[in-house]
C-alpha cells in the first residue's frame, strides 16, 4: 500500500494545535512545559521519526538498561537526585503507583492502604486494580482542607498498621503540601511501607526521599519534569527494589520461552520512546529550576493577593500557599455566568480570546490554575485578562 | 440519532429504541411484510434493526387491530386504544430509521427501568398484563402524551420471544428527549474539577440548600445573607458520616474579635469567623427542615457578638 506524501492531517479531521503560543495556566501542565531548546533539539535530531527511537542500540532487552543513549545512567541520576537508590521509568505516575500497590498486594494480600483524603484518583485506581482497600484519613474541611499529622496517626492506629501509607505530596485539588516528613517518621517507627506521590512536586521543588523516610517516590515527567508524556518514574530503596523491580519468572509451558530481563510490575519493558528522550534532555534544566522554588512561591502568593483584589474571589487551601497549584472559589465569575449566554463556559472562552488557555471549560464557581514558570510580564497579562473578564456585564 | 445512542450507552441497552409512526393516510409506496405479524413481533424485530410497515391486513392479532386504531371495537370497548380509529398504516423501526415518530419504545430490564425512573424523578406504570406492547406501551402513551411502563403480556412473551426479564417503557418523543438531556447533564455535571466527583453530597441535600439561596461549591455551599458572604460546610466524622454543620464568614483584610461559641481563625490576610454545631434533631438536611432557622440564628450570634472590624 502506498501512502501519498500529500497525506494531510485533515484526512482524520482538523488536527491543528489550537493553542500554539498561548499562555498555559492549567496547573497540570505548567510543570511539564518543555523548554524550547529541547523541543527544537528533538525535532532537529530526528527523534520524532520513529516510535521505537530508543531501541536501535538496545542490547540487554529492556529500555532501562540501554546505554546508547545512556538511559541506564539517566535513571541512576534520577534516583540520586530524588534521594533514592534505584529508579525505573514507567508509563506515567499512575503506573509507578500500580507497581507499588502490586508489590504491597503480594506482601500483604487483602491489605488496607491508608491514603490522604486529597489523593489523585489514580492512587485509588491503582489500589483497586491490586485488590487493596483504601481507607482515608480526614482533612480539616473548608476552607483549607489540610492533612494533619494527628489525624493520620489516629487512622493508622484505628486500622492497626496498614499495609501501605500513601501521602500525596502536593494534592491535585487545593495544592496543599501534606506533612510528608512527619508522617514518614511515624511510618518508619512503625515499620509501615510509605509511598509519597510527588507527581505535582518532583521536578519543581527540592525533594529527598531519604529525608522523608519514604520507601517509594512516584513521579510524573509530564506534570512536573518539563517533559512530554506519558512518562513517570518510580524511585525506591534497595530494601524494596528487589521486590518492586523483580524480574519475570514466567515460562510458558509449550515454547519454554523466558523473559528474564523484563520487570512485570512495569509491564516488562516500559519502552519510553520520545517522552523518555525528552525527559533526559530536560533533566539538566529541571535540576536547575528546583533551586528557584522559593522565588516561584513568592510570585504565586503575590498572584493570589492580586486575584483576590478583583472581587468575590478567595483561594481555597492553605495560606501562605506552598505550591503553585491554585484553587479559587469564584462567585464573582459565577454571578456573570448565570446571565451570560455561554453560561459557565464564558470564563474559559473569554480567557482563550485573550490568549490564555487552561481553565476547565464550563466551570465558573471554581477555577484551578498555576502561574509556575511564567515571567512577570506573562503573569501581568493573566491578571489583566481576569480583570477584563470580571468587568464583563453579562 | 444521538438520543438513541445516548440512552442506550447510558443504560447499557441490548436493543435499539423503537420508533413507532401511526399514519392516518397510506403512503404511496410501502414495502409490506411477507406474512402477517403480531404488533409485538414487529416491535421485537424493530428492536433488532428491521423496519416494518404494516396495514390492517398485515396485523395478525385482533386485539392490536383495535388498540392501534385500525378498527373500532365491535361488542365491548377495549382500553387503552387509539381513538378515533383512523389508523391506516403502522411503521416501526430502530429510532434512527423512523422520521418524526409518534411513540418511542424502550425494551429494558428492571435495573434499566429503575435508572430511568431515577433520572426522570419517577415513572408512571399502569398495566394489566394484556394488550401490553400495542395497548399499554403504544396506545396509552399515544393518547395521553405521557410515558407508561408495561410488564408485557402472555402474547408478547409467547409469540414475540420477549424474555422473562424484559419490560417496555413507551412514551412520546418528548419524554425520551428529556431523558437523553438529563443523561447528558449527569455526565457533564458530576461536580468535577478534573473528572472526579469532589463530594458525595446527595441531590436532596443540595436541593435543601438551594431552596434557601445557597449554591453548591465543591463540597460546601456558598451564598450571601444581607450582602455578607456565607459559606456552609458539612463536617464528617472520621468514618465519613455527616455529623456537624459549620457556618463560615470569611472576611478579608480586617481584624475581628468575637466571643465564644464563635471561632476566629486567621488565614493570611483573611479571617474566618465560624461556628460548628451538631446537626441534632433540629435540622433535617434531606428536607431542609430547620436549616434556614439555624443559619439565621448563627448569623444573629455573629452580629450580637459585636464582631469588630478594624
User: CATH number of the domain that A364 lies in?
Assistant: 3.90.1150.10
Q: Which residue of A has its CA nearest to B236?
A: A138
Q: Are residues A202 and A284 in the same domain?
A: yes
User: Residue A121 pLDDT > 50, yes or no?
Assistant: yes
Q: What whole-number distance in Å separates Cα of residue A323 and Cα of residue A305?
A: 15
Q: Is A47 helix (H, G, I), strand (E, B) or coil?
A: helix
End-to-end CA distance of chain A: 55
Residue-level pLDDT at B195: 57
**A124-132 long-range contacts, CB within 8 A, separation 24+:** A125/A94, A126/A94, A126/A97, A126/A98, A126/A100, A126/A101, A127/A101, A129/A98, A129/A101, A129/A102, A130/A98, A130/A101, A130/A102, A130/A104, A130/A105, A131/A105, A132/A101, A132/A104, A132/A105, A132/A163, A132/A164
A172 at B interface, C-beta within 8 A: yes
ipTM score here? 0.80
Mean pLDDT rounded to a whole number for chain A: 95
pLDDT-derived band at A202 (thresholds 50, 70, 90) equals very high
From B240, which residue of chain A is nearest by alpha-carbon distance? A138
Q: Is residue A319 part of a domain?
A: no
Range of the domain at A364: 5-27+325-390
Together in a domain, A113 and A222? yes
Residue A232 has pLDDT above 90, yes or no: yes
- pLDDT attached to residue A11: 62
Output the pLDDT for position A199. 98
* Total structural domains within chain A: 2
| Cβ-defined contact of A334 to B267 (cutoff 8 Å) | no
What is the pLDDT confidence band of residue A8, given thresholds at 50, 70 and 90? low
pLDDT at B286: 78
Identify the weakest region by mean pLDDT among A71-75, A175-179, B25-29.
B25-29
By the 8 A CB rule, do A353 and A389 touch? no
The predicted structure's pLDDT at residue B191: 44
Query: Residue B238's closest chain A neighbor by CA?
Result: A138
A157 in B contact zone (CB under 8 Å): no
Residue A1 has pLDDT above 50, yes or no: no
Q: Tens digits of per-residue pLDDT, A240-293? A: 999 999 999 998 999 989 999 999 999 999 988 999 999 999 999 999 999 999
Strand partners, B224: B229
Residue A277 contacts B, CB cutoff 8 Å: no
- Interface contact A305, partner B, CB < 8 A: yes
Q: Is A360 on the interface with B (CB under 8 A)?
A: yes
The verdict on A366 touching B (C-beta cutoff 8 Å) is: yes
Interface test with A, best of B193, B227, B234 (most A CBs within 10 A): B193
Same-domain pairing of A117 and A264 = yes
* Cell, residue A369: 490554575
Closest C-alpha to A107, from A190, A193, A33:
A193
Q: Is A288 in CB contact (< 8 Å) with chain B?
A: no
- In this structure, of A10-24, A72-86, A100-114, A300-314, the range with the lowest mean pLDDT score is A10-24
CB atoms within 10 A of CB A265: 24
What pLDDT does residue A365 have? 95
Is A329 contained in some domain? yes
Query: Quick check: A126 pLDDT over 50?
Result: yes
Place of cell 380509529: B85
Same domain? A101 vs A237: yes
Cell matching residue A170: 502536593
On whether residue A307 sits in a domain, the answer given is: no
Contact A138 B236 (CB under 8 A): yes
For residue A313, tell me if it sits in a domain: no
CA distances (Å), origin B92, targets A167, A271, B45, B105, B152 = 58, 53, 9, 10, 18
- Residue B189's contacts (CB-CB under 8 Å, 6 or more residues apart) are none
Residues A353 and A270 in one domain: no
Cell numbers of A381, please? Answer: 497579562
Q: Inspect the interface and report whether the beta carbons of B193 and A319 lie closer than 8 Å.
A: no
Contact status of A308 with chain B (Cβ, < 8 Å): yes
Q: Which residue in A173, A308, A365 is closest to B215 by CB distance?
A: A365
**Alpha-carbon gap: A127 to the closest alpha carbon of chain B (Å):** 16
Same domain, A162 and A79: yes
Residue A160 shares a structural domain with residue A283? yes
Per-residue pLDDT 10s for chain B (310 aa) are 489 988 998 888 989 999 999 999 998 888 889 999 999 999 999 999 999 999 999 999 999 999 999 999 988 899 999 999 999 999 999 999 999 999 999 999 999 999 999 889 899 999 999 999 999 999 999 999 999 999 999 999 999 999 999 999 999 999 999 999 888 877 655 444 555 677 888 888 898 899 999 999 989 999 998 888 999 999 988 888 888 889 999 988 888 778 778 888 899 989 998 888 887 767 788 788 888 888 888 788 777 665 555 4
Q: Which candidate in A115, A120, A143 is best for mutational testing of the B interface (most B CBs within 10 A)?
A: A143
Q: Would you tell me how many other CB atoms lie within 10 Å of the CB of residue B278? A: 11
Q: Which residue has the higher pLDDT, A394 or B77?
A: B77
The rounded distance, in Å, linking the Cα atoms of B38 and B41 is 5
CA-based nearest residue in chain B for residue A309: B252
pLDDT given at position B304:
67
Do A120 and A173 sit in the same domain of this protein? Answer: yes
Residue A77 lies inside a defined structural domain of this protein: yes
- The pLDDT, as a whole number, for residue A212 is 97
Measured CA to CA, the distance from residue B27 to residue B99 in angstroms comes to 14
Indicate whether A45 and A19 sit together in one domain: no
pLDDT band at A394 (very low <50, low <70, confident <90, very high): low
Query: Is A140 in CB contact (< 8 Å) with chain B?
Result: no
Cis peptide before A193 (omega within 30 of 0): no
Task: Fill in the DSSP letter of residue B289.
Answer: B
A19 contacts: CB under 8 Å, gap ≥ 6: A352, A357
The span from the CA of B142 to the CA of B145, in Å, is 5
Cell (9 digits) for B236 = 464528617
Asked if the C-beta of A148 comes within 8 angstroms of chain B's C-beta atoms, the answer is: no
**Same domain for A361 and A236:** no
Domains of chain B: 2-187 (no CATH), 198-309 (3.30.1460)
Mean pLDDT of all residues in A117-141: 96
d(CA A172, CA A357): 18
Q: How far is A293 from chain B (nearest CA, A)?
A: 20
Confidence at residue B190, expressed as pLDDT on a 0 to 100 scale: 44
Would residue A300 count as lying in a domain?
no
**Which residue has 493553542 as its cell numbers?**
A19
Beta carbons of A144 and B219 less than 8 Å apart:
no
pLDDT in tens, B128-165: 999 999 999 999 999 999 999 999 999 999 999 999 99
Closest chain B residue to A344, measured at CA:
B189
What is the average pLDDT across A177-181? 98
Distance (Å, rounded) from C-alpha A115 to C-alpha A155? 10
Mean pLDDT of A181-210: 97
A336 shares a domain with A230: no
What residues contact A218, with CB distance under 8 A and at least 6 apart?
A: A93, A96, A97, A100, A195, A196, A197, A198, A199, A232, A233, A234, A235
On whether residue A248 sits in a domain, the answer given is yes
User: What confidence score (pLDDT) does residue A128 get?
Assistant: 96
- Do A365 and B269 make contact, defined as CB atoms within 8 angstroms? no
Same domain? For A202 and A230 the reply is: yes
User: Smallest CA–CA separation between B290 and chain A, in Å?
Assistant: 22
Q: How does pLDDT run across A296-339, given as a tens digit for each residue?
A: 999 999 999 999 999 999 999 999 999 999 999 999 999 999 99
Amino acid at each position: 500500500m502506498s501512502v501519498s506524501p500529500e497525506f494531510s492531517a485533515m484526512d482524520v479531521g482538523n488536527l491543528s494545535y489550537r493553542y500554539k503560543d498561548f499562555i498555559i495556566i492549567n496547573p497540570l501542565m505548567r510543570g511539564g512545559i518543555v523548554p524550547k531548546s529541547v523541543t527544537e533539539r528533538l525535532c532537529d535530531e530526528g527523534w520524532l521519526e520513529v516510535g521505537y527511537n530508543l531501541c536501535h542500540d538496545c542490547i540487554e532487552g529492556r529500555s532501562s538498561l540501554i546505554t546508547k543513549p545512556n538511559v541506564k545512567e539517566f535513571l541512576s541520576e534520577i534516583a540520586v537526585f530524588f534521594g533514592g537508590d534505584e529508579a525505573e521509568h514507567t508509563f506515567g505516575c499512575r503506573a509507578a503507583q500500580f507497581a507499588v500497590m502490586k508489590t504491597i498486594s503480594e506482601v500483604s494480600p487483602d491489605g488496607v492502604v491508608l491514603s490522604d483524603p486529597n489523593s489523585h484518583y489514580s492512587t485509588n485506581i491503582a489500589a483497586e486494580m491490586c485488590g487493596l482497600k483504601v481507607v482515608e484519613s480526614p482533612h480539616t474541611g473548608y476552607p483549607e482542607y489540610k492533612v494533619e499529622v494527628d489525624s493520620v496517626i489516629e487512622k493508622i492506629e484505628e486500622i492497626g498498621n496498614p499495609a501501605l501509607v500513601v501521602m500525596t505530596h502536593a494534592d491535585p485539588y487545593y495544592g496543599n503540601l501534606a506533612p510528608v516528613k512527619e508522617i514518614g517518621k511515624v511510618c518508619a517507627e512503625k515499620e509501615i511501607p510509605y509511598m509519597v506521590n510527588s507527581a505535582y512536586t518532583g521536578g519543581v521543588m527540592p525533594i529527598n526521599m531519604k529525608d522523608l523516610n519514604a520507601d517509594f517516590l512516584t513521579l510524573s515527567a509530564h506534570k512536573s519534569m518539563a517533559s512530554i508524556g506519558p512518562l513517570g518514574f518510580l524511585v525506591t530503596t534497595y530494601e524494596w527494589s528487589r521486590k518492586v523491580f523483580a524480574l519475570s519468572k514466567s515460562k510458558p509451558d509449550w515454547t519454554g520461552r523466558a523473559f528474564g530481563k523484563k520487570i512485570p510490575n512495569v509491564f516488562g519493558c516500559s519502552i519510553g520512546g520520545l517522552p523518555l528522550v525528552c525527559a533526559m534532555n530536560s533533566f539538566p534544566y529541571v535540576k536547575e529550576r528546583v533551586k528557584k522554588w522559593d522565588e516561584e512561591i513568592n510570585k504565586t502568593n503575590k498572584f493570589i493577593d492580586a486575584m483576590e483584589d478583583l472581587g468575590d474571589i478567595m483561594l481555597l487551601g492553605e495560606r501562605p500557599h506552598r505550591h503553585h497549584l491554585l484553587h479559587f472559589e469564584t462567585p464573582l465569575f459565577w454571578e456573570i455566568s448565570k446571565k451570560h449566554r455561554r453560561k459557565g463556559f464564558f470564563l474559559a472562552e473569554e480567557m482563550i480570546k485573550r490568549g490564555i488557555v487552561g481553565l476547565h471549560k464550563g466551570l465558573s464557581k471554581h477555577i484551578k490554575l498555576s502561574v509556575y514558570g511564567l515571567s512577570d510580564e506573562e503573569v501581568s497579562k493573566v491578571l489583566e485578562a481576569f480583570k477584563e473578564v470580571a468587568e464583563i456585564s453579562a | 440519532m444521538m438520543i438513541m445512542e445516548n440512552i442506550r450507552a447510558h443504560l447499557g441497552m441490548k436493543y435499539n429504541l423503537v420508533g413507532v409512526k401511526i399514519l392516518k393516510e397510506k403512503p404511496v409506496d410501502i414495502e409490506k411484510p411477507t406474512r402477517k405479524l403480531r404488533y409485538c413481533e414487529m416491535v421485537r424485530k424493530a428492536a433488532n434493526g428491521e423496519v416494518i410497515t404494516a396495514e390492517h391486513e398485515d396485523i395478525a392479532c385482533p386485539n392490536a387491530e383495535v388498540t392501534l386504531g385500525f378498527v373500532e371495537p365491535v361488542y365491548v370497548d377495549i382500553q387503552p386504544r387509539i381513538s378515533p380509529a383512523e389508523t391506516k398504516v403502522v411503521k416501526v423501526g430502530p429510532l434512527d430509521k423512523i422520521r418524526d415518530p409518534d411513540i418511542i419504545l424502550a425494551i429494558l430490564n428492571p435495573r434499566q427501568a429503575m435508572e430511568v425512573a431515577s433520572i426522570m424523578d419517577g415513572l408512571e406504570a399502569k398495566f394489566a398484563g394484556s394488550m401490553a406492547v400495542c395497548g399499554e406501551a403504544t396506545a396509552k402513551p399515544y393518547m395521553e402524551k405521557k410515558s407508561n411502563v408495561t410488564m408485557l403480556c402472555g402474547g408478547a412473551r409467547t409469540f414475540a420471544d420477549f424474555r422473562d426479564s424484559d419490560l417496555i417503557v413507551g412514551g412520546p418523543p418528548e419524554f425520551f428527549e428529556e431523558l437523553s438531556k438529563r443523561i447528558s447533564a449527569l455526565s457533564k455535571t458530576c461536580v468535577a474539577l478534573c473528572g472526579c466527583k469532589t463530594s458525595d453530597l446527595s441531590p436532596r441535600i443540595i436541593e435543601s440548600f438551594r431552596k434557601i439561596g445557597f449554591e453548591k461549591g465543591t463540597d460546601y455551599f456558598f451564598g450571601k445573607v444581607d450582602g455578607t458572604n456565607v459559606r456552609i460546610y458539612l463536617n464528617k466524622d472520621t468514618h465519613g458520616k455527616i455529623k456537624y454543620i459549620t457556618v463560615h464568614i470569611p472576611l478579608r483584610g480586617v481584624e475581628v474579635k468575637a466571643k465564644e461559641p464563635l471561632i476566629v481563625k486567621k488565614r493570611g490576610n483573611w479571617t474566618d469567623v465560624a461556628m460548628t454545631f451538631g446537626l441534632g434533631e433540629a435540622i433535617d438536611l434531606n428536607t431542609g427542615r430547620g436549616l434556614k432557622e439555624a443559619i439565621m440564628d448563627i448569623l444573629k450570634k455573629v452580629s450580637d457578638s459585636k464582631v469588630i472590624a478594624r
